[in-house]
Structure 1
Amino acid sequence: MGTELRLKRPWHARLMIFSDLDGTLLDPVTYSWQEATPALQACIDKDIPIIMNSSKTGAEMAHLARQMGLSWPYIVENGGGICFPKGGPFQCIEDGTSGRSLDHVAIGMNYERLSEALLRIAAETGACIRGFSQMSPEDIMALTGLDRKGAERAMQRQYDEPFLIEHALPDALERIRKAAGRLGLQVTPGGRFYHLHGAFDKGNAVRWFADRMKPFGNIRLVGIGDSENDIPMLEEVDIPVWVAPPEKPEPAVKGLIKSNKATFSGPEAWNQVVLLLIRERYSR
């Protein structure tokens, strides 16, 4: 069954921003977006959608959206699903006679199958792998710096199994990737964890939006990220932005831009680049 996007109110934007969270819009240590506040407020003032696109769960992103004052859709668990908050400007309508309004579009694979597959991969490769499904809230708190409620939200997974490789041999990741591939799965490095998921990524979810945004006019899609799992998203947008620290290698993405301040990364770079894009696009 197909879907289409509809607007609940008048909306005229020139940009739509897809943004990673940890290490991009959020500080990788404190999880603060304080340094990006001026650009966030400018986006709110100009009705520019900020579509969060992260490995985080729906529970985590709903909490963040409320804190940030964002009502736009968000993409969860590395492209595994798209959530449409109640009261948000966009409505996702199912094609067909029902015309149902959907609050969630599933793209990814069932989480229980992923956690079972990770155990199978560990047994096949002999690698010492520990996934979220094997961790307690206390484990996740220690690994991430989250408080207990934050850790519990991070554990409410549907489409993506984060994991660690402990005591890894040099070829462990390659063996794990090959074993995952034989099961029709993918392994993607994130900021803190590796992620096991189905044959989808952040770019697939951006493409879902791009296909349905065409009736709304000439809107430039911006993608902002800092990690390998952001590259598929950056490859799908008109304006790809890299906000990783300078010591991190840049991906070979056509048209990639970054902060012109060599020391800027994360939310500081996010703020500078987004304000620049708004000035350029809205001064014409």
Structure 2
Amino acid sequence: MDEEARGRRGKVYFIGAGPGAVDLVTVRGRRLIDAADCIIYAGSLVNKDLFTGCTAPLHDSSGLNLDEVIELMAAATEKGGLVARVHTGDPALYGAIGEQMARLDELNIVYEIVPGVSSAFAAAAALGVEFTLPEVTQSVIFTRRSGRTAVPPAESLTGLAAHGATMVIFLSVGMIDAVVAELLEGGYDPDTPAAVVMKASWPEQRQIRGTLRTIATQVGEAGITRTALICVGKAFAEKMTAAPSRLYARDFSHGYRSGE
């Protein structure tokens, strides 16, 4: 496609809607959603209240296949329209945007990604924790248990558990008994702190704290089966004592401050 023809076409924006609360979308994302000529959103997870006041047609992609999504994008951009393709959280995490971008490349349709706030960070905020603590943990693993979507064998929960890092497990709360069994097999101690946060930042947010010894039973009793994150590691202890950060230590020098 020549540049003149490309210039007459519209553009697709993959927008991270944030974890659920309508005021946790970025300013850029909000502006693009409001300006959109076509909105395609992941209706099973994105809070529809985000689109209150929008005049563009709304298309819930939860009932569409990939071909149908691309057809909507192509039709809107062919007329010079702005398409807001709205994904939950940040589209880089379990957003399935790669296959959409590949198809847009084939059609010479221009697109851009607008990052969002992941539900992982909303869960950390709800629990009042840092994922990384000095001399306790400095690594975070985002993962999921193998289900209908396979996980590479090298990334099994059992294998990842050997690191003892902070772990945030997506899309797996419905299999929490198996999750816990694999984490214990991989090396986590049964008394490792664990938490589950359902619908982080939504009005109906719920959170449960326990240990790997108790969390599966707690989740079962609470009836939580979906839209929840499993958080595992020492960072999730309710009363965590960690070494102070060197960043603000009185005797620590860096490019902006001289230590005593």
Above 0.5 in TM-score? no
Larger RCO (alpha carbons 8 Å, 6+ apart)? 1
Q: Taking structure 1 as the reference length, what is the TM-score of the superposition?
A: 0.28
Larger Rg: 2
